[in-house]
Structure 1
Amino acid sequence: MIAMFFAVSALDSAKETLETFGWNPWLFLSQVISFMIVALLLRKYAYKPILGVLEERRQQISEAQSNAEKIKQQLAEAEQRYQEILSKANVQAQKMIDDARESAAHVAERKQQEAIVAAEQIVTKAREASAIEHEKTMAELKRELGRLVVNTTAKVTGKVLTAEDQRRLQDEASRQMAS
């Protein structure tokens, strides 16, 4: 009961306060309805489009950040591929340089061997030619010496030597010259 008493006294006090300020319930109700209509119109024609634009921009920003991350990742992958390709190219270039050096060394060695063989052939031919020339010179010298011995003997002895005597003297001079 006490609760009812307080409720009734609070209601009376509220009525007095409302009458003091000149509160009209029909006017208040019309203002609440007008506010609701304006709120609904604003929500439908102003807030929803603005919220839609804000959501769209948020999605665009999110997509842009996602794309930026993808681009960073692709750039990192491209840089890694570039480094791998560059490394492979350097290895291949070094291999080609090493192969070229090795090939040049083989060619130089082969040319040197060919030059040595050619020089040995030239020396051998020169020795052979020298030996042949020596043989010819010695044969000519023997003939000339034999002729000189025959002529000298013929002049010293004062007689004409027969072909047999000339041959014997030439052979004897050749033997003495050979030893």
Structure 2
Amino acid sequence: MNFIPSTFIIQLIAFLVLYFLLSKYAFGPLFGMMEKRRTHIQDQIQSAEQNRKESEQLLNEQKEAIQQARKEAYDMIEQAKVTSSKQADEIILQAKNEATRLKDEALRDIENEKNKAIAALRSQVSAMSVMIASKIIEKQIDEKSQEQLVEHYLKEVGGNQ
């Protein structure tokens, strides 16, 4: 292989012309496309990063919302327990008051019936006393017979109780 300087210069000029033409018509659009591609990929990476951050934020918000809902549910359950406990206490108190009232009414009824029975008994005793007196007057008996008659009628009255 021989080195010929004129061929070398022609090849060098041809190379420079080719490089100039390629840089003017091919490299510009090629580098432009590559730059667009790089920009597009960089935008997608940024978009993916932003989406990831938004997803994390939404996940945290959902976790907080779930935690808040659980807290509210727990508070509602506790409030229901307190309310039901108060209602149970009120029902028990009302039942005790009602039982006391019924007991007092029953005691009053018993006392009234007892008083009625005593009044009826007194009425009967009075009627018997009058009857005894009238029989004593009718018979005009002696004192011993009178005593026996009174005791007899008192025993009758005592047996009626």
Q: TM-score, normalised by structure 1?
A: 0.69
2:20 pairs with 1:40: yes
* Structure number, greater radius of gyration: 1
Describe the superposition over 1:121-178 as per-residue Cα deviations: whole angstroms up to 9, x where unpaired.
Answer: 1110121122112101210111012212321342244269xxxxxxxx9xxx7xx97x
* Residue of structure 2 in register with 1:63 after alignment: 43
* Residue of structure 1 in register with 2:146 after alignment: none
Give the Å deviation of 1:29: 5.0
Match of 2:74 among 88, 94, 100: 94
Q: TM-score, normalised by structure 2?
A: 0.76
Question: Higher relative contact order by CA 8 Å / sep ≥ 6: 1 or 2?
Answer: 2
Tell me, in whole angstroms, the C-alpha distance in 1 between the residues paired with 2:43 and 2:35.
Answer: 12
RMSD between aligned alpha carbons? 2.6
* Residue of structure 1 in register with 2:131 after alignment: 151
- Unaligned 5+ runs, structure 2: 141-149
- Unaligned 5+ runs, structure 1: 1-16, 161-168
Change in CA separation of 1:62 and 1:156 when aligned onto 2, cut-off 3 Å: same
User: Number of paired residues?
Assistant: 143
Match of 2:83 among 72, 92, 103: 103
Change in CA separation of 1:24 and 1:66 when aligned onto 2, cut-off 3 Å: closer
* Residue of structure 2 in register with 1:139 after alignment: 119
Match of 1:120 among 83, 95, 100: 100
Describe the superposition over 1:36-87 as per-residue Cα deviations: whole angstroms up to 9, x where unpaired.
Answer: 2222111111111111111211121122112212211221121112111111
